[in-house]
Structure 1
């Protein structure tokens, strides 16, 4: 038997945000069984907490229903919130396959946990299947160049002209599934306020309510093309079309035009405790 926690991430309201299953004390679970458990939970991600192997406080493995990810945002932030809620620590260092992620924690009086994580700085390149991707999304053009960013998962950014147009996006998931190892990130907005949607049949997720690993690279993407300055915090709303509004803050700092620090923050609330019997 293994205990787990369900935590709603990037929200202060239970049953909103992006749900995550966190399996504590998972050192005796083989990787193949972790994948089966993640498929059983059928959330966008499930995490498994293990003893640290290096410079962190805990090691975390992250699984979608179909594959393991080296890093993902809402799983890291949500796992830190669950661990912090039981210890009241002001910070944790979580080891992932993409490196050790520092997470600062605060505990407001409303029962939520607030967290800020420093993400891996992404690398990027133009997405070579741009036209096929636009066709799969049903979008005629992008407001910015279509670039792919990798900070563990690979996110490909497509700008949409308005929030109303963003809400109307209905991708052809069969066509989108032919784009391997990527999530399509559609975004719209201006200034410091942005909306985002994520589609990734390649990662077993038709649409995601909150994609923390994509929030940081969005800040980089906007700054690279002059829509916000480096060092400016932006607010990102995702999950509206799914009925699970999620609120993220992101900031990318740079020397010149080269980012060196990417931070994403948000809140989380524990909603359920359970036990897996097998």
Structure 2
């Protein structure tokens, strides 16, 4: 097993993510136990024995996730480290789809990019209970309120500025109940920079046992898709993890395609513990 700091910023921080080579013999309970033993919020289980693109599954201590952006960053960085190469262009199978990945050694760590796929965007009507559970006043929230899904829906919540973002203290029990009621993975409050092209964000997902996630790369991709859909460009850098003392950054590039808005996600990772 290795623990990989996924989505580091300037060589620091990142989200500790367990990565395990798994030949498919582990039970799901054993996989959840690995997460608990590792002390991480998530773990990636990589099966390389099937031939072709490795199959990767993601778990929290409560259960399996359909996909995980920072877990994909961690898994691909781990595979490059294990192989001893300086560059790899490959594919990964997760959540019923196979997608392209790249990994390159850089001075600050291993830079990984992957194709997130198309993002479904829909109206956020009926989500007032989620916003209330975040502890936000009406004046704190901008017009950027959207449900976005790369396979699992989550609520994007634009807030007025970084000060509002970092001062948030959600009612996690209430938030978990509201997210379960609406079938949401969690919610992703964010504050856009005045200059555009970057944002600060946090991710709350108590419905899946993660009160606050250090980083959520898939939600960063969802935000890039939302900004492109609303005429504000598709290139974005998202800073996360500051509220938890684990600085992270995720980059996302959204483009219009015949199938919808597709996104590529990139971040840097460092393996810091192996056993």
Deviation at 1:209, TM superposition (A): 1.1
Query: In 2, distance between residues paired with 1:77 and 1:185?
Result: 19
Residue 204 of structure 2 is aligned to residue 208 of structure 1: no
String of CA shifts for 1:45-66, please: whole Å, max 9, x gaps. 1011113658x42111100111
| Structure 2 gap ranges (5+) | none
Deviation at 1:261, TM superposition (A): 2.3
Cα distance 1:24–1:52, how it changes in 2: closer, same or farther (>3 A)? closer
Task: Decide which of 215, 219, 223 is 2:224's aligned counterpart.
Answer: 219
What is the aligned partner in structure 2 of residue 119 from structure 1?
Answer: 116
What is the aligned partner in structure 1 of residue 172 from structure 2?
Answer: 173
String of CA shifts for 1:178-218, please: whole Å, max 9, x gaps. 02142110000230110010001001111111101111111
Corresponding residue pairs, total: 265
What is the aligned partner in structure 2 of residue 272 from structure 1?
Answer: 273
Cα distance 1:201–1:28, how it changes in 2: closer, same or farther (>3 A)? same
Query: In 2, distance between residues paired with 1:161 and 1:128?
Result: 20
The answer (yes or no) to whether the contact 1:9–1:19 under 8 Å persists in 2 is yes
The answer (yes or no) to whether the contact 1:220–1:259 under 8 Å persists in 2 is no
Residue 77 of structure 2 is aligned to residue 81 of structure 1: yes
Could you say what the CA RMSD is over the residues aligned between the two structures, in angstroms? 2.0
The answer (yes or no) to whether the contact 1:240–1:246 under 8 Å persists in 2 is yes
| Structure 1 gap ranges (5+) | none
Query: In 1, distance between residues paired with 2:268 and 2:46?
Result: 20
Query: In 1, distance between residues paired with 2:26 and 2:65?
Result: 17
Matches within 5 A, 1:48-59: 48-51=45-48, 56-59=52-55
Matches within 5 A, 1:88-127: 88=85, 89-110=87-108, 112-127=109-124
String of CA shifts for 1:200-257, please: whole Å, max 9, x gaps. 100111111110111111101122223x22xx4211100001000001111100149x
Query: In 2, distance between residues paired with 1:185 and 1:24?
Result: 30
Task: Decide which of 191, 194, 197 is 1:192's aligned counterpart.
Answer: 197
Query: In 2, distance between residues paired with 1:61 and 1:20?
Result: 13
Deviation at 1:163, TM superposition (A): 0.7
